[in-house]
Amino acid sequence: MDDAVLMSRMFASLRGTLRTQAQGGASGLELDGVTAAVTAATPGRSVMNAAVAASAGALEAGYDALAQAYADAGVYAWTVWVDSADRATADVLAARGHVLDAEPAGMAIELADLGDGPPEPAWTGDWGALADALAVNDEAYGDTQGKAARALGALPEGAAHLYLAHHEGRPASFVIVRDHGEDLHFWVAATIPVARGRGLLSGLLHRALRDARDRGLTTSTTQATRMGAPVYERLGYRTIRPVQMWERRGAG
């Protein structure tokens, strides 16, 4: 599949995920060509306060309203996802004080090419375990304030698919994915430190990809950290190009 098609699917899925996030503890904002999640519960965490614009022109036209929405919610750190090939949108943000904060890898896999995976751990997909999964996320990232639960804890059943595995009797690793058209957006995943290196996350993600293929989806896309990208490559994801996060951060 052409890289341009895969990137288009990725950003469409990302916009859909921002809308879904608004069901979990955030507020959604829709402007002409701009979609954003505004999470007042995590005012200093820009990844939870993110926007996607359809074009530089749409962002320029809606920027003041977008910035005001974050200010009104008390959010002092927010970001805009930008294709690294889109210099015009990056220039709009740089001119308004945003800085390039991160460049995760934009990755995709065509599900017809999904091969054999690692051993599959015992897991549950019970949506009632969402709180356990979000606690795993907070422990994995050293967050003692429960930010993931505040941002996503109210997600309703059916908003996404959850895969949660245990290690030594406690929740240890999880994957959350969501369907968007024919694309599976690999949204959130984490493993607690003591359970890393056991293939739990890889096994869960491979199962999620197989299930998506069985539902008729044809691709999966994600934005991967430097730590995560090699794990996903082993499952068949490939890097298309970086995706940039242009952050605006004020005084907290």
Give the residue, 69 or 26, on which the prediction is more confident. 69
- Mean pLDDT score, 236-242: 98
Ranges of beta strands (E only) in the chain are 27-31, 34-38, 50-53, 77-83, 99-102, 105-110, 123-124, 161-167, 170-180, 183-191, 219-224, 238-249
Percent of residues, the chain, with pLDDT higher than 70: 100
pLDDT band at 105 (very low <50, low <70, confident <90, very high): very high
Distance CA 242, CA 37 (A): 22
Q: Amino acid identity, residue 29?
A: L
Distance CA 194, CA 119 (A): 19
Check if the beta carbon of residue 106 is closer than 8 Å to that of residue 232.
no
CA distances from 185 to 54, 95, 219, 249 (A): 18, 31, 9, 27
Distance CA 36, CA 15 (A): 8
pLDDT at residue 169 in the model: 95
Does 49 score more than 70 pLDDT?
yes
Phi, psi at 130, each rounded to 5°? -55, -40
- Mean pLDDT score, 95-119: 97
Determine the length of the chain: 252
Comparing CA positions, the residue from 188, 217, 241 lying closest to residue 3 is 241
43-62 as b/e: b if 16+ CB within 10 A: bebbbbbbbbbbebebbbeb
Spell out the domains of the chain, with CATH numbers in brackets. 3-105+243-249 (3.40.630), 109-241 (3.40.630.30)
Average pLDDT value over all residues in the chain: 96
Does 106 score more than 90 pLDDT?
yes
Does 147 score more than 90 pLDDT?
no
**Joined tokens for residue 6:** 């895969």
Distance CA 38, CA 29 (A): 7
Does 110 score more than 90 pLDDT?
yes
H or E element at residue 82: strand 77-83
pLDDT at residue 146 in the model: 86
pLDDT band at 150 (very low <50, low <70, confident <90, very high): confident
- Mean pLDDT score, 205-211: 99
pLDDT band at 252 (very low <50, low <70, confident <90, very high): low
- Mean pLDDT score, 36-50: 95
